């Protein structure tokens, strides 16, 4: 679960299928999918979005989507 990650932690995505279809598609466009290594850069307060980094590129997604992504800590 993404929740287990804190700022600065690195992880590897193992399952992304529970995320909304459109969001999944956009993340895929950005090269973020199963097998991608991600790093949590920043978490906005009050349940706001999170900023994750993958392959040198930062992407912002909503918290409720992020928690649906299954990751293992690296």
Which residue lies nearer to other proteins by CB, 8 or 73?
A: 8
Judge contact between 68 and 6, C-beta under 8 A. no
Judge contact between 49 and 62, C-beta under 8 A. yes
**Candidate list 9, 62, 67, 70; residue touching other proteins; CB under 8 A:** 62
Task: Report how many residues bind other proteins under the rule CB under 8 A.
Answer: 30
**How far is residue 47's CA from residue 74's CA, in Å, rounded to a whole number?**
25
The contact pattern for other proteins, residues 12-51, with x = CB under 8 A and - = no contact, is -----x--x-xx-xxxxxxx-x-------xxxxxxxxx-x
Judge contact between 41 and 52, C-beta under 8 A. yes
Binding positions for other proteins, rule: CB under 8 A: 17, 20, 22-23, 25-31, 33, 41-49, 51, 55-62
């Amino acid at each position: 679960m993404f929740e287990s990650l804190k700022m600065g932690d690195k992880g590897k995505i193992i399952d992304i299928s529970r995320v909304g279809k459109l969001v999944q598609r956009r993340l895929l466009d950005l090269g973020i999918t199963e097998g991608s290594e991600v790093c949590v850069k920043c978490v906005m307060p009050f349940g706001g979005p999170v900023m994750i980094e993958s392959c040198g590129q930062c992407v912002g997604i909503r918290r409720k989507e992020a928690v649906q992504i299954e990751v293992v800590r690296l």
